[in-house]
Amino acid sequence: MAETRKMTLGIQDVEDLAPDDDPMPTEPMTLNMGPSHPAMHGTVRIILTVEGETVKDADVQVGYLHRCFEKEAEHATYTQVFPYTDRLNYVSPMLNNVGYALAVEKLLGVAERVPERAQYIRVIVGELSRIADHLTCMSAGAMELGAMTIYFWGIKAREWIWELLEELSGARMTHSYVRVGGLAYDLTPDFIPKVKALFPKIFAVLKDIQDSLWENRIFRDRMDGTGVITQEKALSYGWTGPCLRSTGIDYDVRKAHPYLVYDRFDFDVPVGSKGDNFDRYIVRMDEARQSIRILEQAFAQIPEGPVCLDDPRIILPPKQAVYNSIEGMISHFKIIVDGVKIPPGEVYSYTEGGNGELGWYIVSDGTGRPYKCRVRPPCFIITNALREMIVNRPIADIVPTFDMMNMIGGECDR
Amino acid sequence: MPDPTPPAHPELVTLKIDGRTCQVPKGTNVLEAARTLGTSISYFCYHPGLSSPAVCRQCLVEVKGQPKLAPSCYTPVAEGMDVLTESEKVVTARAQMLEFTLVNHPVDCPICDKAGECTLQKMYQEWDGSPSRVDTGKVHKPKVVDLGPEIVLDAERCILCTRCIRVCDEVAKEHQLEMAYRGDREQLTVAPGKRLDNPYSLNTVDVCPVGALTSKDFRFAMRAWELYTTPSVCAGCATGCNDEVHHARGKIYRLVPRENEAVNKFWMCDEGRFTYKEIDTARVAAPRIGGETSSMDKALAFAAERLAGVPRELLGVVLNAQATNEDNYFLAKVAKALGITHVYLAGRPPKPERADDVLRSADVNPNTAGARVIANALFGAGKAKGTQQLNADIAGGSVRGLWILGDHVALDDEALAALAKLDVVYQSPHDNFLSDKVSVLLPAASWAEVHGTFTNAKGLVQRVRAAVEPPGEARPHYELVALIAKRLGVDVSVGAGALTAKALFAEMKGAVPEFASASFGREALPIQLRFAASRG
């Protein structure tokens, strides 16, 4: 007759697990985390030196998704760089499109002349992208702590947004929707009502996520007080965006240095207080809600009108003119073959991307392609602090800390 | 604060252009004076190498105190002149002239060879940009007119700048082109009883600001903006015209002249432009031993073995005026180290009938002067023998082995017959009448595939740059020389680093006095024409 096995449900008292007087001897062990590790998003490798469960040292290695974006841009016309920018932060390509276009327009000296409607549309697609970006970060962050359902909810909402952006631009993720001096197309006729219909649904998803997680013991235990960074440290690393705001500093490019028409909207900049992972989570949650506030105001204010500059040296002429007049033909030819000629000079232009200040430093030598096109990728700068944040903490803290930084390979590694 | 007064100089004229003071020699026109300040004025008919007829009215500028705008290409500078090149009046005039020029211009860019390097396109995009206001049809003119052996005219595209007429008159010194009819019917034709067949006819295509004159050779061959340009020097004759090699995906499409006031100014002869065609004709891509294709290793070992088997006093080397200075120097150096005393200079035989007083020289080798000074410096003045002596030595049996730099060596029938009995190592880019008479044929890179220098007839050391990759196993002469020399036990180290043309040049500067003050020139990576800003 088989022996009856006694089983206990739940964990034993912590005291029972306490080490006795003669702990097992441990020695440092080298562990390879990533790049093929689900929590490393396939693009980062950390060589850990662990003692037991404690990380004693970490060598964070980025660059597995390096595609020579900056060098590639030097061989493309200014317009041909747009598809490359889509692939930087590929979760919010519209924000990259807009940031790059603003930089080129600043260098060209036409930033103020871009039609108002185009500026509003740039805000609208940008804020939609920001919601998608934050939804991705929040749902993936919860999933990697075990909350699979949250992931499905968040990604479902992200897909609603991407479907609309696909309707607008023709591509689900790689939109290439913005152009130097304007936009590729105007909004589709029922785009605004469709986005408006989404608002209650997105709010509901955000509420569901909040209701499921805010009181969730596992989630709070792993997020509260982990990955803490002080304001001074965050500033010294050059942090920006939701991660910086989690420490209580309210720097948001949209408020501090308004671009496009951001100075016409009433919105708040959510900040945290402790600078831990949970703060970064709620900052993103609130920012998504603020983005919807901005969208609602933008829909109320958006004027009718053209979406491109009226300048034949920058914007392609209509096809009628291209095929029937030599003037249109030459303009089309020169813009396509030589690119939009930008006067020699250099520019730094910055916008609020999904992860923080997305900066562009462009140098022109007077030809139709950038002499230098440098991106200041916000998450690359944030990832610099990862080592310091995980050392002397348990291995398990790496996952939420890395998640809440929202390192996006495409942007970090370029 | 007023501008500081520059010192008065009898030969210099001081004037103001857009508020900036400049000093230029007397007689300079305003357009060139503006260029010294980095201000470019748009123009079609003006060309720095030709006379100024001021027919296109595109270069109008405002001269303070004069009621009308003045053509800057035709207005000489005057003391105290105050010129505005971008005032509202000037910019409007430019745009209006372009609108006028475009009235009858056909919508041909997609099928026009000049598209992408067209001055009219460039000017319109830079200075006009406004849409057409014409709603009547365009005046039609003849589209495919055969003007001569190399040129096709599209009269509709012509903007009547007359540059081509002046190139023929002033450079080739032959009056072959003229304008006919008047007003909007005016068009370019050949002069009565003439054809456009002078030896410099393709310069008309270069100076044509639009696609009216096109080269039959380049017509519909390639889109100009996809080409890459590598600066080089023509290997067609001893003049050494500076040129640009235009190539794409390893294939050369054309050679065009590059400005050099000291050599060719802006021009180049038709024959020189077609030298690129020889590169791929009868090309040797793999080594051959006794006519049979072989591996490089085997061929090199065989070459070294044959050369080693000949007594040194019966061994000769042949330097070549077709090869670069670096190649000639290195072979001469190795020969000296081996104790070889028979040194010959070869090359293509001269063609006196092609010589003129413009650019074309009777000597059709690019490096006769260079090969000679190298031989003189290493073996003593006058020690290197010519091809006549080479023929006699081969036939007479005073040499039993030869190491020849290709490609061309002018041997007579008697010498050729005797050659088969000798041990001959022949490095050549091309197959020719020698290749089946030699013991070993090694594939060499041509002038378009190597870095190096040529010395032209005036003694100028000029740089050639590799534009394309050599085919198959072909490699530069100096590399082949090094590979054989190593097998013969000669120390082939040049400088501290790898064996390159640059290192050879640096060593040559010390060894050959004629090179002491020469420089190897900067590296130039190929630039795509659409970004090069050098044309159109």
Asked if residue A32 belongs to a domain, the reply is no
Distance CA(A379)–CA(A409), nearest Å, equals 9
Structure tokens at A69: 């974006």
Average pLDDT over residues A5-30: 63
- Beta carbons within 10 angstroms of residue A42's beta carbon: 13
A344 in B contact zone (CB under 8 Å): no
For A365, nearest residue in chain B (alpha carbons): B531
Residue pLDDT, tens place only, B262-295: 999 999 999 999 999 989 888 999 999 988 899 9
Asked if residue A363 belongs to a domain, the reply is yes
B120 in A contact zone (CB under 8 Å): yes
A317 in B contact zone (CB under 8 Å): yes
- Beta carbons within 10 angstroms of residue A358's beta carbon: 31
Nearest CB among A323, A327, A368 relative to B131 is that of A327
At B181 the three-state DSSP class reads: coil
Distance CA(A46)–CA(B116), nearest Å, equals 50
Say what percent of chain B tops pLDDT 90: 54
> Under a CB-based contact definition with an 8 Å cutoff, are residues B340 and B316 in contact?
yes
DSSP string spanning A165-207?
HHHHHS-SS----EETTEESSPPPTTHHHHHHHHHHHHHHHHH
- Beta carbons within 10 angstroms of residue B100's beta carbon: 12
A327 in B contact zone (CB under 8 Å): yes
Structure tokens at A91: 């979760």
Distance CA(A255)–CA(A277), nearest Å, equals 24
Contact at CB, B120 and A341, closer than 8 angstroms: no
Nearest CB among A325, A334, A367 relative to B121 is that of A334
Q: What is the pTM of this model?
A: 0.81
Nearest CB among B124, B225, B533 relative to A330 is that of B124
Q: Report chain B's mean pLDDT, rounded to a whole number.
A: 89
Contact at CB, A327 and B124, closer than 8 angstroms: yes
Structure tokens at B208: 């044509």
Distance CA(B166)–CA(B207), nearest Å, equals 10
Mutate: best of B125, B158, B228, partner A, most A CBs <10 A: B125
B67 in A contact zone (CB under 8 Å): no
Contact at CB, A327 and B125, closer than 8 angstroms: no
Structure tokens at B333: 């150096």
Is the Cα torsion angle A196, A200, A202, A206 positive or negative in sign?
A: positive
CA distance A315 to chain B (A): 11
Residues from chain B that touch A323, judged by Cβ atoms under 8 A, are: 107
Asked if residue A51 belongs to a domain, the reply is no
Asked if residue A5 belongs to a domain, the reply is no
Residues from chain A that touch B110, judged by Cβ atoms under 8 A, are: 329
Asked if residue A301 belongs to a domain, the reply is yes
Contact at CB, B109 and A333, closer than 8 angstroms: yes
DSSP string spanning B317-335?
EEEETTS-HHHHHHHHHHH
A74 in B contact zone (CB under 8 Å): no
Number of domains in chain A: 1
Say what percent of chain A tops pLDDT 70: 93
Asked if residue A33 belongs to a domain, the reply is no
**Nearest alpha-carbon partner for B45 in B193, B145, B179, B146:** B179
Dihedral of the CA atoms B266, B46, B117, A314 (nearest 10)? 140
Residue B390 pLDDT greater than 70, yes or no: yes
Question: First CA to last CA across chain A, in angstroms?
Answer: 66
Asked if residue A360 belongs to a domain, the reply is yes
Give A225-282 as a 3 state SS string: CCCCCCHHHHHHHCCCHHHHHCCCCCCCHHHHCCCCCHHHCCCCCCCCCCCCHHHHHH
Residue pLDDT, tens place only, B301-334: 999 999 988 888 889 999 999 999 999 999 999 9
Angle at B485 between CA B481 and CA B488, to 5 degrees: 150
**Nearest alpha-carbon partner for B272 in B235, B322, B247:** B235
Nearest CB among A313, A317, A327 relative to B102 is that of A327
Average pLDDT over residues A186-192: 90
Could you tell me which residue, A15 or B156, shows the higher pLDDT? B156
B352 in A contact zone (CB under 8 Å): no
CB neighbour class for A273 (10 Å; exposed up to 12, middle 13-18, buried from 19): exposed
B225 in A contact zone (CB under 8 Å): yes
At B457 the three-state DSSP class reads: coil
- Beta carbons within 10 angstroms of residue A64's beta carbon: 17
Residue B360 pLDDT greater than 60, yes or no: yes
Identify whether B407 is preceded by a cis peptide bond (ω within 30 of 0).
yes
Residues from chain B that touch A327, judged by Cβ atoms under 8 A, are: 102, 124, 128, 130-132
DSSP string spanning A306-361?
-SB-S-TTTSPPPHHHHHH-HHHHHHHHHHHHT-----SEEEEEEEE-SSSEEEEE
Say what percent of chain B tops pLDDT 70: 97
Distance CA(A78)–CA(A334), nearest Å, equals 13
Contact at CB, A330 and B225, closer than 8 angstroms: no
For B224, nearest residue in chain A (alpha carbons): A337
Residues from chain A that touch B212, judged by Cβ atoms under 8 A, are: none
CB neighbour class for B337 (10 Å; exposed up to 12, middle 13-18, buried from 19): middle
Q: Which H/E stretch holds residue B510?
A: helix B501-511
Contact at CB, B530 and A337, closer than 8 angstroms: yes
Q: Which H/E stretch holds residue B257?
A: strand B251-257
At A373 the three-state DSSP class reads: strand
Give the number of beta-carbon pairs within 8 Å between A and B.
Answer: 64
Query: Where in the sequence is the domain holding A107, given as residue range(s)?
Result: 69-413
For A325, nearest residue in chain B (alpha carbons): B107
Residue pLDDT, tens place only, B135-145: 888 899 999 99
CA distance A334 to chain B (A): 7
B131 in A contact zone (CB under 8 Å): yes
What residues does B266 pair with on adjacent strands? none
B268 Cβ contact list (under 8 Å, min separation 6): B200, B202, B203, B234, B241, B243, B255, B256, B257, B359
Asked if residue A171 belongs to a domain, the reply is yes
Residue pLDDT, tens place only, B463-499: 999 999 999 999 999 999 999 999 988 888 887 788 8
Contact at CB, A331 and B530, closer than 8 angstroms: no
Residues from chain A that touch B129, judged by Cβ atoms under 8 A, are: 311-313, 331
Residue pLDDT, tens place only, B213-228: 999 999 999 998 889 9
Residue A289: CATH number of its domain:
1.10.645.10
Phi-psi sector, A227: left (phi>0), alpha (psi -120 to 50), beta: left
Q: State the amino acid at position B188 in one-letter form.
A: L
Query: What is the structure's pLDDT at B1?
Result: 47
Distance CA(A50)–CA(A56), nearest Å, equals 5
Nearest CB among A311, A325, A369 relative to B107 is that of A325
Contact at CB, B225 and A337, closer than 8 angstroms: yes
Distance CA(B511)–CA(B379), nearest Å, equals 11
Residue pLDDT, tens place only, B105-141: 999 999 999 988 899 998 998 888 888 888 888 899 9
Contact at CB, B122 and A334, closer than 8 angstroms: yes
Residues from chain B that touch A367, judged by Cβ atoms under 8 A, are: 531, 533
Contact at CB, A368 and B531, closer than 8 angstroms: yes
A311 in B contact zone (CB under 8 Å): yes
CB neighbour class for B221 (10 Å; exposed up to 12, middle 13-18, buried from 19): middle
Phi-psi sector, B76: left (phi>0), alpha (psi -120 to 50), beta: beta
